[in-house]
Each structure stands twice: as C-alpha cells, then as structure tokens.
Amino acid sequence: MSKSFLAILLLLSIALFSTEGCYYDNEEDLFGADSSCDTTNVTYAGDVAPIIINRCYVCHETGADGGGIVLSGYTNTKIWVDNGRLIGSIKHAAGFSPMPKSASKMPNCEINTIEAWIRNGAPDN
C-alpha cells in the first residue's frame, strides 16, 4: 500500500466526516421544532425555570454579575420577559445581546418552550 493511497484515504475520511458535520447542523436548524418538542401546557416551574437555571444561572443568579441582570425566580425573570429583552436575546434577534453569552444558541425546543410560555402570558404556575 503506497503512501499516497493512504493519504487519499485519510483525506476522503476527513471530507466525509466534515460533510456529516454539516448535515447534522442543517438538520438541527430545519427540524429543530421536532415533534418530540411538546410546547403545550408549558409552566414556569416545570419547564421554563429548569431551562433558565441550567443555561443562565451561571451568570444571572442573584449574586452573579451578568450585567446586573438577575433571573432568579419568577418575579425577576418576568421583568425581562415584559421588557422583551429575554426573548430577543435568546432568539439572537437584531438589537439584542445574544444569550447565553459567548455560547451557541440554545436548542430550538428550549427556545420554543420559553416562547410558548410567554405567548400564554408568562404565568407563574
């Protein structure tokens, strides 16, 4: 087996691997709102708070210094819901600081869950 044959094999597998990476990204974009994402009956305590605790508390819990913005608990979170900054930032909309900061956008299902909750009036349930 020649060296160049091995090199070609190596290049081919790299090429294959990177196309698969693209495929995966596209799929995530296109089918992010997948059927396994249930956004009916979304509640603050059961659905929204766990996402915010998991993704945002590292910078926005009481005592953390994320731009002086606190997202601990319903009352604090509701301020940023009502002024429109929370949804704008997690959807990476123009004019908002994209959140979570310095990380990729959250999975669509998590964004859709928060959006559905806000559309229902962001109740404290």
Interacting residues with ligand HEC (CB under 6 A): 55-56, 58-60, 66-67, 69, 80, 85-86, 89-90, 96-97, 99-102, 106
Q: Using the minimum distance from each CB to ligand HEC, give the nearer residue, 15 or 93.
A: 93
Tokens of 32: 């992010």
Tell which residue, 81, 55, 33, has the closest CA to residue 64.
Answer: 55
Both tokens assigned to 23: 């495929």
Closest approach of Cβ 23 to ligand HEC, in Å? 27
User: In the bound complex, what is the minimum distance in angstroms from residue 66's beta carbon to ligand HEC?
Assistant: 4
53: alpha, beta or left? (left if phi > 0; alpha if psi -120 to 50): alpha
Q: Residue 16 Cβ, how far from ligand HEC at the closest point, in Å? A: 34
Find the residue with minimal CB distance to ligand HEC.
Answer: 67
Secondary structure class of 112 (helix, strand, coil):
helix
